[in-house]
Amino acid sequence: MDAQRAERALSSRYEVRVFEDGGSVLEALANGEQDELPRVLVLDWLMPGVSGIDVCQYLRNLPDEHMASIAVLLLTVHQRSGQVAEGLAAGADDFLSKPYAQEELLARVGALVRGRELIERAERAEATLLHLLASSPDALVGVDAEGRIVYVNPEAERVLGRSSRRLEGARLPELLPELAWDWSRAKSGLPRRQGDIEIGGRTYSPLIRGTKPDGRGAYVVTLRDVTLERETAQRRLDLYAIIAHDLRTPLSAAVLRIEALLRSPLGPPAPTFAEALGKLQRNLRELVGMVNDFLEIARFEGGMYVMSDDRVSLRQIAEDAVDEFLPLADSRKLRLGLGEQKACEGYVRGDPRRLKLALSNLLGNAIKFTPEGGRVEVRVLETGDRVVVEVEDTGRGIAPERLPHVFQRYSRAVDREHEVIGSGLGLMIVRETVRAHGGDVGATSVEGQGSTFSFWLPAVEPLPSA
């Protein structure tokens, strides 16, 4: 009677098949095709012959994952807690005490069906993801917070020369000492690019990205074979270096010759002549700067950009940069200073020389585009787990339609009326430098009032005081 009652309750929504005993259930499952397997088995604890719990235990011990994953609802008698506990321990997914209401049976079976559908969807998504990872032309290595390998794709097995069984559990920094660093610095979001490494006579470019929202505990290391790209880039960079040398030598000589004329032992030149020489000297220095910009971009694009990984105070870098630019700001009658609001040391990891060049690019631009009597201020702030550097000026500002493009190649932030000499690469160099350190850039501006250019980097904890 129980079987017919359950069939009547379920047949309105599902295709139902009734068996008289547990043995018949197992026989039908063994002889059925995979696409004929049920999503849910409703088993009575007290079935003749093989009991419901015996069927459940048998299914859960099968090596066939499709059979073992069938959802099981056990019918028990009068909410006997012992039966419930034993049934769940045997692998039942849910239980229902007799006598039961048909609506409750429908609800519990429906929940199991939906749960099974969600699991199947997740399994299909996982299979697709694993297929994509296995098909990747790059070596992919999953690493935990201690640097231990938890996953490798076939390309990583080939590159590292070991099977996944031998690699999983090993510490990646021991296999590749170049990647021995503090893994907690790999925040999710923007990737952390490391310098090139050599593996088996080939050149690889590592990229580390945190995959969890809090940036802790799970990282993906991508190893891309860039051997051919680096060889091509080196040849191109060698050519650029030759051209740059041939350009800078006469330009630098001309700058020195002008300085000699301005400091002639015969006395200073006439004011108008001195002014003309000063303008020529500034233009020649701008040309030397443009040559340097082109070389810097060539290094970025060729992957030849090598950075140190030091503990750096952005506050100290800002102070040094402001000191160096004070004479230029004074000559243009500008007020240049370091803001004191919420002052901090702003410790980060990176290359101090490159970071100073990035800030100098922003400072140079601010001074260049701020009219006489204006103000330029540098601020170093800590916001959460970031250190932010801002350079604010009271210049002419940037048109809204130009602002989204100012960090792009050859972009100029001014109109033709106010055009000044330059390569149009300075802000792009700032962006690439900052992103290579795991941060990003930004800019805001109001026409006629000024602009604020900024960049942020992941903060590191200050060293404990002695």
Same structural domain, 319 and 382: yes
In a domain, 23, yes or no: yes
Same structural domain, 331 and 246: no
- pLDDT given at position 188: 46
User: Two tokens at 82?
Assistant: 């012992």
In a domain, 464, yes or no: no
Same structural domain, 330 and 394: yes
Alpha helices in 305-351 (DSSP H): 314-331
Give CA–CA dist 153/337, Å, rounded.
52
Same structural domain, 115 and 154: no
Same structural domain, 274 and 194: no
Same structural domain, 438 and 350: yes
- Indicate if the alpha-carbon torsion angle 332, 334, 340, 344 is positive or negative: negative
Give CA–CA dist 283/280, Å, rounded.
5
In a domain, 465, yes or no: no
Which CATH number is 115's domain given?
A: 3.40.50.2300
Q: Of 106, 133, 160, which closes a domain?
A: 133
Question: What is the CA angle 460-464-466, rounded to 5?
Answer: 155
Contact indicator for 90, 60 with CB cutoff of 8 Å: yes
Q: Of 253, 284, 301, which closes a domain?
A: 301
In a domain, 161, yes or no: yes
- Say if residue 445 is exposed, middle or buried (CB neighbours under 10 Å; 0-12, 13-18, 19+): buried
Number of domain units in the chain: 4
- pLDDT given at position 309: 79
Query: Mean pLDDT per 10-residue run, the chain (466 residues)?
Result: 77 86 84 77 83 84 80 78 78 85 89 89 90 92 88 94 93 86 54 79 88 66 90 75 72 77 73 78 73 66 66 93 89 88 80 88 90 93 91 91 80 51 69 87 92 93 59
- Residue 401 is part of which domain span? 310-458
- pLDDT given at position 341: 62
Same structural domain, 440 and 373: yes
- pLDDT given at position 319: 93
Tokens 């945190």 belong to: 210
- pLDDT given at position 185: 54
In a domain, 70, yes or no: yes
In a domain, 20, yes or no: yes
Q: For 403, phi and psi rounded to 5 degrees?
A: -60, -45
Same structural domain, 286 and 314: no
Same structural domain, 200 and 236: no
In a domain, 463, yes or no: no
Write out the H or E segment, with its range, that includes residue 207. Answer: strand 202-210
The DSSP result for 422-435, as a single string, is --S-HHHHHHHHHH
User: Two tokens at 226?
Assistant: 């860039």
Q: Of 275, 301, 327, which closes a domain?
A: 301
Same structural domain, 344 and 393: yes
Over the range 357-389, which residues count as b (16 or more CB within 10 Å of their CB) and which as e?
bbbbbbbbbbbbbbeeebbbbbbbbbeeebbbb
Same structural domain, 204 and 112: no
Is the omega angle on the peptide bond into residue 99 within 30 degrees of 0, that is, cis? yes
Nearest Cα residue to 178 out of 135, 223, 134, 136 = 223
Same structural domain, 115 and 82: yes
Which CATH number is 163's domain given?
A: 3.30.450.20
> What Å distances lie between residue 167 and 113, 131, 132, 134, 203, CA to CA?
39, 19, 20, 16, 21
DSSP letter at 336?
E
Which CATH number is 448's domain given?
A: 3.30.565.10
In a domain, 123, yes or no: yes
